[in-house]
Amino acid sequence: MKSPLRDEVLLLPPVAINLGRGRHHAMRSQASGFCYVNDVVLGIQRLVSKGRVKRVLVVDIDVHHGDGTQEAFYYSKKVTSISFHLREPAFFPGTGSDSEAGAGHPTSKAAPVPKHNIQAEVNDEGGCNSVDAC
């Protein structure tokens, strides 16, 4: 029996979303920030090496800079990594300044974009009181 849902899924563009917080601090040579394997990097490397995708855009939205993901694709012509994160003195991991940019192809570079002046206040129900931060 052929599934109509299967046919619809095959027509969708190849998009993957990891809502479970990828382990973006792990690096090739070391664990970091409670991350010992960078699942996002490994998944992208597999997709690219198998020819499943030609180009990848990683949008990392987290309070911490995705330093492991940036390091993995810093020289890549196939992967663009953008990290939205808080950048403050002595804040882990201490990387991700707005002057950092990848050394790869001009249209594909790691480009950290620190969030400045965003303040969120979490209320008792777990929601945000600041529209800018939610």
Tell me whether residue 25 is one of the annotated catalytic residues.
yes
Distance of CA 58 to the CA centre of its chain: 5
Quote the pLDDT of residue 77: 86
Q: Which of 24, 25, 64, 65 is catalytic?
A: 25
Q: What is the pLDDT of residues 107-121, one digit of tens each?
A: 444 455 555 544 444
Domain assignment of residue 87, yes or no: yes
Q: Give the CA distances from residue 83 to residues 17, 18, 71, 86, in Å, rounded to whole numbers and listed in that order.
A: 15, 14, 12, 10
Q: What is the pLDDT of residues 55-94, one digit of tens each?
A: 888 888 888 888 898 889 888 888 888 888 877 778 888 8
Domain assignment of residue 123, yes or no: no
Query: 4-13, 22-31, 53-62 — which is least confidently predicted?
Result: 4-13
DSSP 8-state assignment for residue 52: S
Q: Which of 13, 113, 6 lies closest to 56, judged by CA?
A: 13
Domain assignment of residue 11, yes or no: no
Neighbouring C-beta atoms of residue 98, cutoff 10 Å: 11
Give residues with Cβ within 8 angstroms of 123, minimum separation 6.
Answer: 129
Best-predicted range by mean pLDDT among 19-23, 42-46, 118-122?
42-46
d(CA 124, CA 22): 27
Residue with tokens 């299967």: 6
Domain that holds residue 92: 20-116
Domain assignment of residue 125, yes or no: no
Question: How many structural domains is the chain composed of?
Answer: 1
Residue 30 has pLDDT above 60, yes or no: yes
Q: Give the CA distances from residue 12 to residues 16, 34, 54, 104, 123, in Å, rounded to whole numbers and listed in that order.
A: 11, 34, 16, 29, 38
Q: How many helices (H) and strands (E) does the chain have?
A: 3, 3
Domain assignment of residue 13, yes or no: no
Domain assignment of residue 97, yes or no: yes
